[in-house]
Structure 1
Amino acid sequence: MPITKKLKRTTKKMVDSRHMLKGITLASFLESTIVPVPLEAILIPLMQARREKLWSIALMATLGCVIGALFGYALGYYLFDLTGDWIINTFSDPEQFKQVSAKMEQQGFWFVLTLGIAPIPFQIAMLAAGATKYSLLLFLLATIIARSIRYFGLALAVYVAGDKAEALIRRYKTKAILALTVVVLLIWYITTLF
């Protein structure tokens, strides 16, 4: 069975569950740590079905991701020497990890912020932040801002567009992510001038 059908079936079960918010937190944690499947596949239909919990869903998705980010950072910080090769080979490749580590050391906050907005696996950034001993406070701040933009942006789209949100997000997702990335890079560039 294709993964999208499984996700839709899981979403339908979750809609009426009294554990829906806990489930979203867990799903967000898993998405940010070990399951590189975008959470949007569950969040958008769930937000449309449970509009009265729209902002709570976004908050719990953000919280789950932040907890996952802390976990990934800790893995990189404490266990990278033991498990780093396995983790890199599972989620990436050594050359990509070297590039990410170099960017982490040079651009830290802005690099995490940019990766946190994009719907790409965030695991490599978390591990690189921990492995390079990047500031935990700045890492968390960038993660919270980036994932809040991502999840509360989805909630805002559902709030404004209602049942048409899923089609609009699917249609304009790439353009929106590109625009947000350009804005973040522009802000980063401006801050380097001062």
Structure 2
Amino acid sequence: MDRKWSFVLKGTITSALAYGATLYLQGEGFFSLCFNLYAGIVLRILPGVMMGYYAITTTTLSDLVCALKKWHMPNGILIPVSVMFRFFYSIKEDYGKIKEAMWMHGMGRQDLLTKPVEYLEYRFMPLLMITSNTADHVAISAMTRGMTEDCNRSSISTTRIRCFDGVLLAFAFVVIGLAVRSKYAGI
């Protein structure tokens, strides 16, 4: 619905390669071990990472806060979740600026193979330095927006569950029920 076709295509191809590696690379040896390790990591971690990425890129902070308020989430949980959500968005923006600065200095992905130490140093050291500052700034920003423990917050965002959302929710519960049933059917 959000037209993130390249995202879906990349995830599908990566998952298919990992699944194929588990089927066809059954054997002993270093090469087989590396691909089975890759496949195991991808098949267990990639779905969660993709879901988190999708949630962060398609949900606005005001919609998230409004939805959590409608679920009667206490402010002790609401504030850390919204600060964390904003933190990841800020880190994504900062990482994009670091990539742009590296490109302007002539460093690209090809340097990962030719100069890996410099590449990692120029990419991740600024990110680590920015991350510590960003955490402080995001927490201060949340407080200036009126997100405190004892305060009722108003919102201009309107969220509600539509018919299509209910169908997807019901489908998710059916899939979870089938997964639990198949796991514990023999007990």
The normalised TM-score by structure 1 is 0.28
Q: RCO greater where, 1 or 2, for CA within 8 Å and sep 6 or more? A: 1
Larger Rg: 2
TM norm structure 2: 0.28
